[in-house]
Chains A and B, each alone.
Chain A
Amino acid sequence: MKRNDSIKIAGVSVYILFLLASFVYGFNPGKEIGRNFLSFSVDMLKLLPCAFILIGLFEVWVKRETVEKHFGEESGIKGYIWALLLGGTTVGGLYVSFPIAYSLYGKGAKLSIILTYIGASGICRVPMAIFEASFMGIKFTIIRLMVSIPLVILSSIALDDYLTKRSYKIRKAK
């Protein structure tokens, strides 16, 4: 792990030096990369603090039993519906839904249900679907959702089965 870390630090340092040098000497590709980095960082910093505060509140307030009841082994089909609704209303992309999914899992949600949630947060976010329909037509959006939602649920169940049989472990939060 130590060696890995130093490689990462070296990589990041090279990257920063490259950007600095590009701005000093006016190397356009480097400047472009720097601008990309900044604009994406800003986009994420707009979302992430809120997402993590909500995760913190969730960790403190929501009881394990509640999560188990709605998202756990016994939740049945309702669990998937909750996962779709939650995914559909999550703001941001995959990078926001990963920490949320991880939190849910830590509180006893079933793996297939959080995988459904991750999928849903990608494909059926409500504001995005509306936006999509306005550019691509409602037929396109409906076909996309009708085909992908069942597939997401089925593949989540299959993945859960496969990994549970092989007793795959996800690192628990401290």
Chain B
Amino acid sequence: MYYLYFATGLALLVSFIVNREKTFKAIRVATNRFVKILPAFLGMLIFVSIVLFLIPDKLISNYLGKNNIFIGVLSASFFGSITLMPGFIAFPLCGILLKKGVLYSVLSAFSTTLMMVGVLTYPIEKEYFGIRLTILRNTMSLFIALVVALMTGIFFGEIF
């Protein structure tokens, strides 16, 4: 995290030394873009706050462990798609689930959809890239996650 602040500060400083005008222009561009997308972020935050309340971590872990591989992978993809979790929560959670006996393929479906499919980020993605591309990209990503889960299952000897 801190290296991001450092890099940004450094970039700003260098830019400022080289060309003051351009740096102010950059800050104006940054502010404009940020303000423009803010409503979409607000929408996302509202969705996130509600969905995380309705689907807490506990519910997810209860769900993933109990079923057979097929239903496990599907429900993992579902949860991964509709929630949003920072990696520092997601992977420890996956680690715990793994110890509890949840299959690798189920966890790979969960983590891949978590990272690639964003139902909650839809308001933002749509704002930038339009509805059609957003839906196509997310659908495609869901399929990728299912293939990854399948391959993980094969390599870990969980399928066949």
**Chain A residues with a Cβ under 8 A of chain B:** 8, 11-12, 15, 29, 32-34, 36-37, 40-41, 43-44, 46-50, 52-57, 59-61, 91, 93-95, 98-99, 101-102, 115, 118-119, 122-123, 125, 127-128, 131-132, 134-136, 139-140, 143-144, 147-148, 151-152, 155, 158-159, 162-163, 168-171, 173-174
Are B53 and A36 in touch, CB under 8 angstroms?
yes
Q: Take A36-B53, A56-B28 as given contacts and tell me if A98 and B108 are in contact as well, using a CB distance cutoff of 8 Å.
A: no
A-B contact pairs, 8 of them (CB 8 A): A36-B50, A44-B45, A53-B11, A93-B118, A119-B141, A144-B112, A147-B152, A148-B112
Total residues of chain B contacting the partner, CB 8 A: 71
Are A55 and B53 in touch, CB under 8 angstroms?
no
Q: Which of B1, B50, B125 contacts A94 (CB 8 A)?
A: B125
**Chain B residues with a Cβ under 8 A of chain A:** 1, 4-5, 7-8, 11-12, 15, 22-23, 25-34, 37, 39, 41-46, 48-50, 52-53, 84, 86-88, 91-92, 94-95, 98, 104, 107-108, 111-112, 115-116, 118, 121, 124-125, 128-130, 132-133, 136-137, 140-141, 143-145, 147-148, 151-152, 155-156
Q: Which of B43, B128, B133, B141 contacts A99 (CB 8 A)?
A: B128
Closest B residue by C-beta to A127: B87
